[in-house]
Structure 1
Amino acid sequence: MLAFGVPLVPTTLAYWIFASSDRLVIGKLSTLDELGLYTVAITASSLLGLVNGALGQAWSPYAIKIYEEQPNESPALFGMVLTYIMVGFGLLCVFITTFAHEVLMVLSTPTFYPAAIAMGPLTLGFMAYASTQVTAIGISITKKTNYFASFSWMAAVMNLILNILLVPKWGMIAASWTTAASYTFLTIAYFMTSQRLFPVVYEKWRVLAVVGLTFGFVLLVPFLPEMTLITCLVVKIMYCLIYVSFLFVLRILDKREWQMLTSLLSKRNAVSDEGDKQVCSETQNSFTTRIS
């Protein structure tokens, strides 16, 4: 138990460092205006952090259960789950980034509206962070938690160095991108190590496609034209719908996902609380069928 748990203490400290060092560096090497804007951007995009925290609480014990009960099917199941995590967080990234200005209109005053430009990179960072729920699964299953401590400290040091080098010139924009880079490094390091410890069968095309698509749509948001409020909302809704349509055009999602979701919802509505266990079992079987 100590061998498993002790490395998680420096890991938590490292996460705290590269989650807060950007604001400390901005406060020291940039302006207080930049610090204020960046803090608002982090607050506005923190919804992704809440979703990721809830996902971790639900997914971790379930992943261990699947590994113990279906060791042969679990590698493919884990890979499929990563695809769905990427799709879900991709949708949130594009939606939050697209409507960042409107979100700030509700949460703050006009002084802080420029913070919207930093929300895109921050949401991409949260997306990369969410992927560690699966990319780190091999480390957790094999109880090699010392890798968590090593890689998280590497990410913390990298984040701190990049912030010191880039923040004085580019301010909060640099801080937001260094945060995204740190989480990206973290998930890649976890992935490479986990694959040696417990190989997962990833859906490579779907994962890479949704990551590239999300990255492109987030980068293009600042280039949307400025219009009246109503027109702007219509254009932005269409922009998000175009993103969703590309998920199907590129076959990142297809009719199998709709069939699985429809089946799950219909069964949920048809059964009582006593029958919920049977529905969960059938849903798990549908995952296995999808894998095969």
Structure 2
Amino acid sequence: MNRKRFFIENFLAYGAINALDKIVPVIMLPIVTRLITDSADYGKFEMFNTIVSFGSSFAILGVYDAMFREYFEREDIEYKNIVTSTAARIVFISSTIFSCVLIVGARLIAELFLGSQQNWHIAVMAAIGVFLAANKTIISAPTRMKNLRKVYVFSGLSYSLLYYLISIVLIREGFNYYGLIIGNISASVYLVLFFYILNRKDFIFSLFNKKIAKELLKFGIPIVPCFVIYWAFNSMDRIMIAHMLNLHEVGIYSIGAKVASISTFIYAAFAGGWQYFAFSTMRDKDQVIMTSKIFEYLSVLSFVALSFSMFIVPYVFDFFFSGDYIKGIVVFPYLFLSPLILMLFQTAGNQLLVVKKAYLSTGCLFIGLCCNLILNYFFIPIYGIKGAAMATLLGFIVSVFVVLIVTINMKLLIITKKLIAFLAVAVGSILFLFMQDSTLYFLPTLCIILMSLFLYAKDFLIFIKMH
């Protein structure tokens, strides 16, 4: 299959899958906020999710990406089964240990994440969530590695339906935010069982291989800090808001972030097809040129998508939300764009994984995280939740800038002057928006759209003619 068509088909297919997966959560979000009227209670549920994502980042030990890399090393089916089986055993053991540590230290975890030991029971439930999340990630991997896209449609939709059905029933019965937590855990159990039944032939535990285990850990452990940094980018803002402001603001911020997560339609489209595409084409002679073009077009797509979304988002908040939750609109532009900037980082950073220099990618991301945390410290007291959102976005932008310097110097990526000009205008427009006291969206979004048309209209027409 033609590589361009292969990548685009995977991109669009996983975009459609993610859109279907998000339909239920997007529809249910206004219902949930009307049932849980206190934004502080919703903030507690978000901190549960924060602990789960934190724990699973460690528990997986980077084995998921290592497994993906080794899976495509050979075409031998038995070798592939050894890789998946070995990876599954490693993660099962590590997730069990880490979940037990979370349970033992529940009071300390509650103090760190929620600002009070009285919420220790949330940390205990999060420990269960960590175990399920880590193992689900590995058990579901063969489905993605085999590119079984239809299965992801069904699994995502059925998971969301079950999750919100259980949650709403329990909330109406008086469980409040506990209903969301129990619904989350119950649906996660279902997903683990679903993928185990589907992929059980890929996991033969007697095939555990010490040599491959060492190779997986050798590749995976150095990138664990990378995933912890991803977690910190997405979660430290909530923790700092909880400590510097309060849980009410965490709830409002989280709702704004949930609405902004519609940008993950694009990110998941990329993530779903990217790893398969990137590693299956990594030996092509023109791989650097091909990846550079993908980076350039994804950059333009990211900012254009933001521009169009900002025209309609004020109406979305006014129509679907009420009370304090409406204030979440102030974080939308920055949190909408952040996953897309992360997508750009992963596109460029994947070049470092291909040459097995993952530590450089981690270092680039760490520099951006430091920038994010420093800006959070200064921005949150001045700008509130809007400042936290902007700090996250600027941290990702710094990471992309640094990884571009590294990959360009290593001749792993090529950046055109046209792209530099576009990004200068686009980033400048976002900074202009942030400095305004009101949600003045028209001018910056118009600048981005006009610049994209001026520089890339010809490319867009060529793409249309090709398809």
TM-score bracket, shorter-length normalisation = 0.7 to 0.9
Post-superposition offset of 1:145: 0.9
Post-superposition offset of 1:21: 0.7
Counterpart Cα distance in 2 of 1:205 and 1:99:
29
- Retained in 2: the 8 A contact 1:38–1:115? yes
Gap change, CA 1:121 and 1:219, over 3 Å in 2: farther
Q: Residue 238 of structure 2 corresponds to which residue in structure 1?
A: 23
Gap change, CA 1:120 and 1:219, over 3 Å in 2: farther
Post-superposition offset of 1:217: 6.7
Post-superposition offset of 1:38: 1.3
Greater C-alpha radius of gyration: 2
Task: For residues 212-260 of structure 1, give each alpha carbon's deviation from its aligned partner in whole angstroms, at most 9, with x where no partner exists.
Answer: 2365278458226xxxxxxxxxxx7x99788545422x22231x43233
Q: Residue 103 of structure 1 corresponds to which residue in structure 2?
A: 316
Gap change, CA 1:151 and 1:201, over 3 Å in 2: closer
Post-superposition offset of 1:47: 1.6
One-letter identity of the residue aligned with 1:179: T
Name the SS for the 1:68 alignment partner.
Answer: coil
Q: Residue 278 of structure 1 corresponds to which residue in structure 2?
A: none
Q: Residue 140 of structure 1 corresponds to which residue in structure 2?
A: 353
- Retained in 2: the 8 A contact 1:210–1:247? no
Post-superposition offset of 1:158: 3.2
Q: Residue 161 of structure 1 corresponds to which residue in structure 2?
A: 374
Q: Residue 262 of structure 1 corresponds to which residue in structure 2?
A: 465
Post-superposition offset of 1:37: 2.2
Structure 1 residue runs of 5 or longer lacking an equivalent are 225-235, 265-292
Name the SS for the 1:252 alignment partner.
Answer: helix
Post-superposition offset of 1:135: 1.9
Matches within 5 A, 1:207-218: 207-210=420-423, 212-213=425-426, 215-216=428-429
Q: Residue 332 of structure 2 corresponds to which residue in structure 1?
A: 119
Q: Identify which of 37, 54, 67 aligns with 2:282.
A: 67
Name the SS for the 1:202 alignment partner.
Answer: coil
Counterpart Cα distance in 1 of 2:456 and 2:430:
15
One-letter identity of the residue aligned with 1:252: Y
Q: Residue 286 of structure 1 corresponds to which residue in structure 2?
A: none
One-letter identity of the residue aligned with 2:390: W
Gap change, CA 1:34 and 1:92, over 3 Å in 2: same
Using structure 2 for the length normalisation, give the TM-score: 0.48
Counterpart Cα distance in 1 of 2:307 and 2:335:
12
Counterpart Cα distance in 2 of 1:11 and 1:148:
8
Structure 2 residue runs of 5 or longer lacking an equivalent are 1-214
Percent identity (aligned): 17
Tell which deviates more after alignment, 11-20 or 101-110.
101-110
Q: Residue 190 of structure 1 corresponds to which residue in structure 2?
A: 403
Counterpart Cα distance in 2 of 1:172 and 1:108:
18
Gap change, CA 1:13 and 1:65, over 3 Å in 2: same
Gap change, CA 1:147 and 1:77, over 3 Å in 2: same
Task: For residues 52-102 of structure 1, give each alpha carbon's deviation from its aligned partner in whole angstroms, at most 9, with x where no partner exists.
Answer: 133023123323333313x1x222222211121012211221122232212
Counterpart Cα distance in 2 of 1:7 and 1:50:
29
Post-superposition offset of 1:16: 0.8
* Pairing 1:9–2:224 present: yes
Counterpart Cα distance in 1 of 2:447 and 2:410:
39
Counterpart Cα distance in 1 of 2:427 and 2:404:
20
Gap change, CA 1:149 and 1:101, over 3 Å in 2: same
* Pairing 1:222–2:444 present: no
* Pairing 1:253–2:457 present: yes
* Pairing 1:34–2:272 present: no
Counterpart Cα distance in 2 of 1:242 and 1:181:
19
- Retained in 2: the 8 A contact 1:136–1:190? yes
Q: Residue 176 of structure 2 corresponds to which residue in structure 1?
A: none
Corresponding residue pairs, total: 248
RMSD: 2.7
Q: Residue 90 of structure 1 corresponds to which residue in structure 2?
A: 303
Bigger relative contact order, structure 1 or 2 (CA pairs below 8 A, ≥6 apart) = 1
Tell which deviates more after alignment, 87-96 or 148-157.
148-157
Name the SS for the 2:457 alignment partner.
Answer: coil
Post-superposition offset of 1:43: 0.7
Gap change, CA 1:208 and 1:7, over 3 Å in 2: farther
Post-superposition offset of 1:22: 0.4
- Retained in 1: the 8 A contact 2:306–2:333? yes
Gap change, CA 1:120 and 1:213, over 3 Å in 2: same
Gap change, CA 1:213 and 1:252, over 3 Å in 2: farther
- Retained in 2: the 8 A contact 1:38–1:172? yes
